[in-house]
Each structure stands twice: as C-alpha cells, then as structure tokens.
Chain A
Amino acid sequence: MKSSPVLRFDDWTDPVRPVERELISLTEDANKDLPPVLFVPGLGHGAWAFAEHWLPAAAARGFAAHALTPRPGGSRRAQVHDVVQVAASLPRQTVLIGHGAGALVVAYAMGRYPVRAAVLAAPVMDGWPTLWTALKTNPLGTLPAVFGGRLRLNRKQLFSAGLPDERAREILDRVVARPRRELVVHDPAPRPVGDPPVLVVGSPDDRVVPRSSLDRTATRYGGAPLLFPGMGHDLMLDVDQAEPIEAILDWLTKELGTGG
C-alpha cells in the first residue's frame, strides 16, 4: 500500500531512531511575542556555521534563536525528523531557516509541521542542475562524491573574493560533506501545511545554486527571490553576511506583524 502524507507507513512501521541532537541556542534576550527561530544548515555544515553571525543577529532582534547540527550520515527522512522534533519541542510555533541542502530539509519539514514562517537560503532544491553546476565549477572536488566519496567544496563555490584566504581555508577545513544520492534524486518537496509565508533568498553569483533554480524555487512558493549580488553560496559566513540576515529578519518582523 502506497505511503502518502496521510498514510505514513514509514513512520508507523519503522520510526526514526532517536539520537542526541546538537543544538546551539541563544534565548536570553528573547521577546516572548516573537516565535522561536531554528536554523538548519546544509551539507557538511553544522550549527557552528550559524553560531558566529546569524544566530546572534537573530537573538539581537529579540528572537529565541537555535541552530541544529544534522545527525552524521543521516538520511533526509532522519534529518526532517530531527528538525520537526526540535521545532515541536520549542514553546511556540517555530520559524525555520534552512540553508543549502538544509533548505530542502526545511521544505520537507514544512510538509509535515506547520511552521510559523520559513526562509530558504541558497536552497539546493533541484538535484540535477545543482550537480551539473558543481561538476562544471569544481570537477575534481565533485567527481568522488558522485561515486559515494567525499565532496570537496572549494572557496569559489562558497565565498566571494572578498573573504580573506586564511578565513576561507579555516571554514573549508570544517566542511566535511558526503552527499547522499537522495540529494540529487528526490520527489518535489511536498506542499507546506498551514499555508505559511515562505521567503527565498540567494545570490546571483552563487556557484552552487544556479540562478534559474533560485527563481524556480521562489515561484513555487509564490514569490521572487531576494537577491544579494556578489555573495557566494555560504550567505551566513561570507564577508557581507549581515545584509541577508538583516533582510530576512526585516521580512520576518513584517510578516509576523508584531512591529518589534
């Protein structure tokens, strides 16, 4: 019998095993009227990728801010499970902000959990165009991953030229990415439950997510992408990281209609 959003045989017969989840949280100055925000990093990144800039930026605007490290080697189903588990554990309906492949996880999580709002940042939503772009931009780093090995991202893909070399090196060393086949081959993300507001942000100069893919994703969620020209794929770590997060938080504040 076929599974569906209503008939969830996978969850009923083979529930995802619980793991200890790494969650970095900044909640001290949280304004009770604002929903919690949960950052979901993409391939090879962890909560650390947000801990430096975007997490404190959200906290400074009064949001209870959290960032989740994806479970090592987890399937997408397990990652979606973890995101929904954390979102449901927070006191109020949560805002999800996913980056890269984490945006795909957020898109799936939205099919299950009614988010307060969601942001898809540099979302890796189209498998084949993304793989094609990666092979063109970084063939040596990408090819091993096609055969199940490690994906070596290079600085051209993740950052603009403005980021100092040693800083880029430091981050690239932390990125340990082993993409699974399901990142490329997957069904379109489900329709979000509860009809939440969704914002797509990205950069036209992103060497991971092609501009056409960004437009397609934004259209699917009923808008146009908010663009930050000149930035690399890692919007939250690149030199101009403050611009996208401030724009995201402005958008959130406006959508939530709380004025704060």
Chain B
Amino acid sequence: MPDTPDIADRHDAVCVIGAGASGLAAIKNLREHGFEVDCYERETSVGGGWNWRHDRSPVYAGTHLISSRPLTEFPDFPMPDTWPDYPDHRQVLSYLERYARHFGLADSVWFGTEVVSVVPVGDGRWDVTTQSTGGGSSRVQRYAGVVVANGHNWSPAKPEIPGDFRGQVIHSAQYKDPAQLRNRKVLVIGGGNTGCDIAVEAAQQASTVWHSTRRGYWYAPKYVLGRPADQVNDRLLKLGLPLRLRQWLYRRVLGLTTGDLTRYGLAAPDHRPYESHPIVNSQLPYYLGHGRITAVPDVVSFDGASVVLADGRRIEPELVITATGYRPRFEFLAPELLGVGDDGRPDLHLHALARQHPTLAVVGLVQADFGLFPLAHWQSVAIARWLRLRVSDPQRAAAVQQKESTRPVASWSRRRVVPTARHWFEVDHADYLRAVEGLLHEMEPAQ
C-alpha cells in the first residue's frame, strides 16, 4: 500500500503518549535501547498528575507519598537520601523534573500536543494523529511502536447518588486546598488513601467531619517499629514468609498498632489482609479517637439538605467530597486493541503488553503495595528490550512471545482481591517484579 503523502513516516521511531512519570521512564529506557522517541504531552511541562499546574492533576496541597521513598524512587535515579521518608508532591514533581533534565528527555517531547487517534496500519506499525491541545489542525505520523503512558488517575469516577442535594458535591480531584474545608460540615466518601487523607485534613480544618466507607478495611499505620511500614513488610517478603503467615502477622501487627476500629463504628474488614489495596494512614484512627471524625456507612441518597445513610441515619453536611477514585481512559484507541472487556477493563499481559498487538504497550497501569515509578521503570525496560528484540532477532522474539503466553496470570496478578474496579490492576510488587524480571532474562542480550 503506497503511503498517502500527508503521513510522515517516522520509520523505527516509537511514539510515547504522555510525559508524566511513566512516560518519562518510557522515553529514557527506549532511548537507552537505541530508539528514537516522539513523546506527545497535552500539557506544556513534564510531571503529569504530579504537576499541580496541570488541569487534570489530582494533587492537593497536602499530598504526600503513601509508599516510602526507597520503594518509590526510580531504581536508576534515586531521590536524595536526605529527603524525608514520605516526600510531598512538590518534592516528587521536582524529582521528575530533575530526572527529565538529567537524561535530557525534554528533547523528545512535543509539549502542548495531544494524541487524537492511534490506528494500526498492519505490519506492527501505527498511524498516530496529533493536534495542538484544545484544537488546531491535525497531523498524522507513522511509528514502529506505541507506548501509552497517559496515566489512570485523571478521569474521576463519580458515584451516582440518587436525589437532589442542596449542599456542594465535589470529587476529590477538585479538592486542592484545606481552605475549602475550613469551618464547614464535611462528608468525605471513600475509604481509599485519598479519602482517608482528606478526612484527616478535614479533621484539622472543618467544623464537623463524617467519613463514609462502604466496607471495612485494614488501616495500616505509616510507621511500624520506628520504620516505614512498607519497609517492614518487605522484610517479611525478603524472609520468604508464605502469604498465610504474612496475613496472620499483618493482623497481629495491626492489632497492636492501629487496634480495633469497630468501636468507632467502622465495619470490620470483609476480606483478608493483602486482598485489597493497602490503606496506610496513622492519623485516621487518631482523629476517630478524638471525635473529630465520625465514621458512617455507605451513602444511599440525597434528600434536600440531608444525606441518607445505609443505616437510615440522616446527616446534613455542607460539602460532600467523593474520593471515589479514577477510571483509566484511552479515548484515542479502539477498545479492542487493549482487549477492553464489557466492564471497561483492559486485558494486557503483565498489565502492560497488548495481547494481539506486539508493538502496543501501556506503562504505569498498575496498582501495587509499592511506588509506581519503579514498576513503570521495569515495564518500560521490558517494552524497550522487547521492541529491540523484535527487530534484531525475530525468531527469538517469537520464542519469547510463545513462552510468555504460558506464564500463568496468577503468578503476577493478585487474584484474590475485593472484586471492584479499584482492584483491576492490583499486583503484589514482589510477584509482579519477579515476573517482569523473568521476561527481562528471556530477552537478555548476548554478552
């Protein structure tokens, strides 16, 4: 098929979509494997969701890391060791900016440009249509591969609550500053880390705080035995303790630290430890104990000035913040390319590699008991090595693909989880990284 003249062929170059943490890792690792990269970023600077200047950033003034520094930094570019255990969002952004500068990544980024569509043209190649953010004429370029790194924490998942409400309802994405809470009666909906963090900020600012959760969770403290809790947890992994024993220890440690929260009206967890995304918050139990936060069950409906709860109680908040998370969105890709099912869930090998399209991959679409950056790093190393191997040794690449197709999903994906969309991409970081490492070994270049 002859090329249409208005399609610029970029030959062996790879297209990366998004210049947040995952996109930057993808650019760096693809370039390190000898690829030319064109990255398209709708905003005018790097950092993605971590850049509070960006419209779609979920960051608010008090955002801190949930996982500790050594488990969050890129493995090849550590954060300064003088930084705190849990850096805040300004530090994380400055870290991403330094990472981009250190490796000269901005040279490969087209800022203020969004991707409109990505279409396979056969032979593993892709036509990528871009245009200036917010309009303008579009342009089509052809690439040898596409790495999607558009993030999954920007399109708010808003609960549908029946009835009319006289007060204000915002999603946590619109919560930016504690001043929004000051001296108001606030209801925070959602038991995730964001919901808990905002409930705690509300406890420090608002006049009254209700925190609504649908089910009981395991609320882990940020510190255990004077160490960040995730570092202590990894000690158990390092010792190779089996899951059942770790679950038992988890219950014991939480019993000794957080204690029994059901006496504050919270539900008991309906699942075992490690079967939901970890909630790490030392202050929530503290403010429950001080009466600054009142735990309430699920919200059933709105009724004028009131919010009706599952137990029939009515409360009258002025502000409702729904910390109900985000959904991944890939508007520029036909759903079948990512194996998206009826429920909207993409089905990717290692949550990264499109099963039917060997030159299409997604970076950063995982949820773990760990920082995202190291996972995005190793995913992008694997993708870069895979794309390189396809070119340099197609026979070996086919063998790798064959072998990977037999890798059991349960070996890298956490299967026993609370069945909600929040846990679509939940992995255990050690199992997951071991699977990615296995793939890397299969593709190891000859020394």
Contact = CB atoms under 8 A, between A and B. Distances in A.
Given A7-B430, A7-B433, A11-B70, A112 B76 contact: yes
B234 A9 contact: yes
What interface size band does chain B fall in? 20 to 34
Interface string B221-246: 00000000011101101111000000
Interface string A112-153: 111000000000000000000000000000000000000000
A12 B234 contact: yes
A114 B32 contact: yes
Contacts of B230: 12
Contacts of B235: 9, 13
A1 B81 contact: no
B319 interface: no
Nearest to A94: B102
A259 interface: no
Contacts of B82: 18
Interface string A73-92: 00000000100110011111
B437 interface: yes
A112 B75 contact: yes
B130 to A, nearest CB: 28
Contacts of A89: 80
Contacts of B378: 6
Interface in B416-434: 430, 433-434
Contacts of B440: 6
A142 to B, nearest CB: 34
B85 to A, nearest CB: 9
A84 B81 CA distance: 11
- The CB with the most chain B CB atoms within 10 A, among A1, A5, A93, is that of A1
Given A1-B240, A12-B234, A85 B103 contact: no
B71 interface: yes
B81 A16 contact: yes
Contact of B237 (A1, A92, A195): A1
A186 interface: no
B75 A8 contact: yes
Given A112-B76, A191-B447, A3 B101 contact: no
B77 interface: yes
B62 interface: no
Interface in B99-139: 101-104
A193 interface: yes
A1 B77 contact: no
A92 B102 contact: yes
Contact of A15 (B70, B101, B104, B437): B70
Contact of A84 (B69, B71, B78, B447): B78
B101 A1 contact: no
A188 to B, nearest CB: 11
B436 interface: yes
B32 A6 contact: no
B234 A113 contact: no
A6 B429 CA distance: 11
What interface size band does chain A fall in? 20 to 34
A4 interface: yes
Interface in B212-267: 230-232, 234-235, 237-240
Contacts of A164: none
Given A1-B240, A11-B70, A88 B77 contact: yes
Interface in A134-178: none
A85 B234 contact: no
Contact of A113 (B71, B77, B239): B77
A85 B231 contact: no
A223 interface: no
B433 A6 contact: yes
B75 A7 contact: no
B238 A15 contact: no
A9 B237 contact: yes
A229 interface: no
Interface in B61-78: 69-71, 75-78
B102 A93 contact: yes
B377 to A, nearest CB: 9
B81 A7 contact: no
A14 B71 CA distance: 11
A260 interface: no
Given A1-B238, A12-B234, A92-B104, A7 B76 contact: no
Contacts of A5: 75, 437
A89 B378 CA distance: 22
A4 B75 CA distance: 12
Contact of A114 (B76, B231, B237, B430): B76
Contact of A88 (B78, B231, B239): B78
A179 B315 CA distance: 69
- The CB with the most chain A CB atoms within 10 A, among B76, B101, B235, B433, is that of B76
Interface string A10-33: 011111111000000000000000
Contacts of B101: 91-92
B238 A3 contact: yes
B238 A85 contact: no
Given A11-B70, A18-B82, A193 B436 contact: no
- The CB with the most chain A CB atoms within 10 A, among B78, B101, B240, B378, is that of B78
A191 B444 CA distance: 11
Interface in B46-102: 69-71, 75-78, 80-82, 101-102
Contacts of B430: 1, 7
A7 B434 contact: yes
Contacts of A194: 32, 76
Given A12-B71, A88-B102, 11 more contacts: A1-B240, A6-B437, A8-B75, A12-B230, A13-B235, A91-B101, A112-B75, A114-B32, A114-B103, A193-B32, A193-B76
Interface of B: 32, 69-71, 75-78, 80-82, 101-104, 230-232, 234-235, 237-240, 378, 430, 433-434, 436-437, 440, 447
14 contacts: A1-B238, A4-B437, A6-B437, A6-B440, A7-B430, A8-B75, A12-B70, A13-B235, A16-B81, A18-B82, A93-B102, A114-B103, A193-B32, A194-B32
Identify the 8 closest CB pairs spanning chains A and B, nearest first. A18-B81, A9-B238, A6-B437, A12-B234, A15-B70, A13-B235, A194-B32, A1-B240
